[in-house]
A and B are shown apart, each in its own frame.
Chain A
Amino acid sequence: MLSSVDGFGPSLSVGTGHLAVHILEDDAGVSDSLLMLFRNLGLEATAYPDAESFFETAKPKKDDTIIVDLLLPGISGATVITWLKGLREPPRIVAISGQAQSAIERQLKDVGPVELIRKPLSIQTLSTIV
């Protein structure tokens, strides 16, 4: 993984052909800015406002990164993560949340270990995950 995105652009995609990022986030501003950021980094990025639309259209592959907001309308972020972890070849999963630590812990209690980034997100923290 790159620790900095200074050399962003073609160098990021070296070796993988394409890196896809799926963003599950119901907040339009967060979702749109994340899309912009990842596309700027030369990644293939798609956003979904809820888990349902993600399950309908996406087939996450092993090399993909799925960014999941814990507070989603309908099917919860924790349920999505559990489902993804159960895949034969699970993708990279990153949970994001702006909630209090205790609320996050409560939701992730039955999910097991998962990478978590707390909002507000910044380009520095995000660049370390892709």
Chain B
Amino acid sequence: MDDRIKAAPAADKTVSEARLMSVLNTAVDGIIVIDEQARILLYNQACEKLFGYTPEEVAGQNVKMIMPRDYAQAHDGYMHNYMTTGHRKIIGIGREVRARHKNGTEFPVELSVGEASTPDGRQFIGLLRDLRSRKEAEQRVNDLQSELVHLARVSAMDEMGAALAHELNQPLTAIMLYLQAVSRSLDKRNDAANETFKSVLAKAVHEAERAGNIISRMRQFVEKREPNRRPVDLNHVVGEAVELTLVGLRHRVNVKSTFAPGLPKAFAEPVQIQQIVVNLLRNASEVLKDREDGLVTVSTGQDGSFVTITVEDNGPGIPPAAMPTLFKAFSTTKTTGMGLGLSISRSIAQNHSGDLIVDPGGHGRGARFTVQLPAASREEEAEAGL
């Protein structure tokens, strides 16, 4: 039986055996066949890459060798349970488990197990799909998402800080000027009583200046975090965002990208624009999740002095009742999420001196969101050394 493990077709192999080996070794996923004693009978080339063992090293060994310690300890029990009760816990079900590489590192795999009755007894076939790249993509999407939330908080704080600074500056300016005007009038006269007034006024001016300095510091703090905008290639930025969204989506949805050639650069902070695109795409795919023919179209274009990104779905459109609060924070028609996505997306666009507008569709047309961003001027491009 051991000769079946080897990938190279041996002379004594039948045509169908050779064909089987070729199929097994072409498979991207790892494939392992074990017998009733959990001994490895077959181990394809994908497994060599996954686990780092050669077929010779694993032949006839207990399959526990590619499991982390906790699974390995329980595995005999699992096998025994199934043999005696026939109760299926993994066969035909499949689940995400951890696997163990020869070097000891553990990694996530999607495991599906099938069963076959052969003249040599029962055999179990395991298919192992490496989940590391999917996990990494999920992680990237999660990171992006938490960055979005963080940015929302920061920008809310910035807006509040700037508004406060402005509002407080008005009365403070008046106070300082009044006080200074009065102390100057007192300067003209010289008597003892004036000296007291003048010293009190000087103290009051000093305190008003102190308040002014606090506001200036607050304003500087807010301004330090002003976004890092520069002329960017919108098609590149949007393309990356689409790619990033697709790997993180729970349900498959068709996305068609049409990028206008020769667009002027947009003056924008790329990561913020990507957050808008990711958010719009996720919304669209959520709307389309139960449809076989769901299609999201992402396109770029130009509209006067704006460069635009349009995300359109072929769903039912946005109900008129949802329109008034569509861009308001904490209003959502979805069962999950906080309803912050669209409101943040719009405020990001507006902070870029652009906007996010919507055509609600309906009557057979889906919703269409358009992000408008100012095209970079020649001076801005020159400044950025482009």
> Which residue numbers of A lie inside 8 Å of B, CB to CB?
5, 8, 27, 29-30, 32-34, 36-37, 40, 71, 98-103, 106, 119-123, 126
Chain B residues, Cβ within 8 Å of A99: 162, 166
CB-based nearest A residue for B158: A100
Kindly state whether residue B154 has any CB partner on chain A within 8 Å: no
B157-177 interface bits toward A, Cβ cutoff 8 Å, 1 = contact, 0 = none: 000001001110111111111
Q: Which residues of chain A are within 8 angstroms of B166 by Cβ–Cβ distance? A: 71, 98-100, 119
Within 8 A of A (CB), among B243-265: none
> Are A120 and B219 closer than 8 Å at their CB atoms?
no
Interface SS, B side: helix
Q: Which residues of B contact A120 (CB under 8 A)?
A: 169, 172-173, 176, 208, 212, 215
Name which residue of chain B comes closest to A98, CB basis: B169
Contact with A along B173-193 (1 / 0, CB 8 A): 111111011001100000000
Known: A98-B170, A100-B223, A106-B353. A122 touches B176 (CB 8 A): yes
CB neighbours (8 Å) of B175 from chain A are 29, 33
- Chain B hits for A101, CB < 8 A: 219, 223, 226
Interface centre among B167, B170, B171, B209 (most CB of A within 10 A): B170
A37 to B178 Cα, complex, angstroms? 7
Interface residue ranges of B133-175 to A (CB < 8 Å):
162, 165-167, 169-175
CB-based contact A36/B223 at 8 Å: no
Question: Contacts of B173 on A, CB cut-off 8 Å?
Answer: 29-30, 33, 98, 119-121
Contact at B223–A102, with CB atoms within 8 Å?
yes
18 additional contacts (CB under 8 A) given A100-B166, A120-B173: A5-B184, A8-B184, A29-B170, A29-B175, A30-B177, A34-B177, A36-B177, A37-B177, A37-B181, A100-B162, A101-B223, A102-B223, A119-B169, A119-B170, A120-B172, A120-B208, A121-B176, A122-B177
A-B contact count (CB 8 A): 80
Q: Are A122 and B165 in contact (CB under 8 A)?
A: no
Residues of B within 8 A of A106 (CB): 353
- Interface pairs (17), CB distance under 8 Å: A5-B184, A29-B174, A33-B173, A33-B177, A33-B181, A36-B177, A98-B166, A99-B162, A100-B222, A101-B226, A102-B226, A103-B162, A119-B170, A120-B212, A120-B215, A122-B180, A123-B177
Chain B residues, CB < 8 A from A34:
177
Report B207-232 CB contacts with A as 1/0, cut-off 8 Å: 01100100100010011001000000
Number of B interface residues in the complex (CB < 8 A): 27
Lowest 9 A-B CB distances belong to which pairs? A29-B174, A98-B169, A33-B177, A119-B169, A123-B180, A120-B212, A100-B162, A98-B166, A33-B174
CB atoms of B226 and A29 under 8 A apart: no
Residues of B within 8 A of A123 (CB): 176-177, 180-181, 184
Complex CA distance for A120 and B172, rounded to whole angstroms: 6
Inter-chain contacts of B169 with A (CB < 8 A): 98, 119-120
A126 contacts across to B, CB distance below 8 A: 177
Among candidates B172, B181, B209, B353, residue contacting A36 with C-beta atoms closer than 8 Å: B181
Query: In the complex the two chains form, is B170's CB within 8 Å of A40's CB?
Result: no
With both chains docked as a complex, state the minimum distance between the C-beta of A5 and any C-beta of chain B, in angstroms: 8
Closest-by-CB residue of B relative to A121 is B173
Contact B178 A33 (CB under 8 A): yes
> How far, in Å, is B84 (CB) from chain A's closest CB?
72
A101 to B220, CA, bound (A): 9
| Complex Cα spacing A101 to B184, Å | 32
Please give, as numbers and ranges, the residues of chain B lying within 8 Å of A102 by CB-CB distance: 223, 226
* Distance in angstroms between the alpha carbons of A103 and B169 in the assembled complex: 15
Closest residue of chain A to B209, judged by CB? Answer: A122
Q: When chains A and B are docked, how far (Å) is the Cα of A100 from the Cα of B223?
A: 7
Residues of A within 8 A of B178 (CB): 33, 36
Does A100 lie within 8 Å of B219, measured CB to CB? yes
Neighbouring A residues of B162 by C-beta, 8 Å:
99-100, 103
* Distance in angstroms between the alpha carbons of A100 and B175 in the assembled complex: 21
- Report how far A41 CA is from B120 CA in the complex, Å: 109
Given contacts A8-B184, A101-B226, contact A27 B174 (CB under 8 A): yes
Closest B residue to A102 by beta carbon equals: B226
Instruction: Compute how far the CA of A30 lies from the CA of B176 in the bound complex, rounded to whole angstroms.
Output: 10
Supposing A27-B170, A122-B209 touch, asked if A100 and B177 sit within 8 A by C-beta, the answer is: no
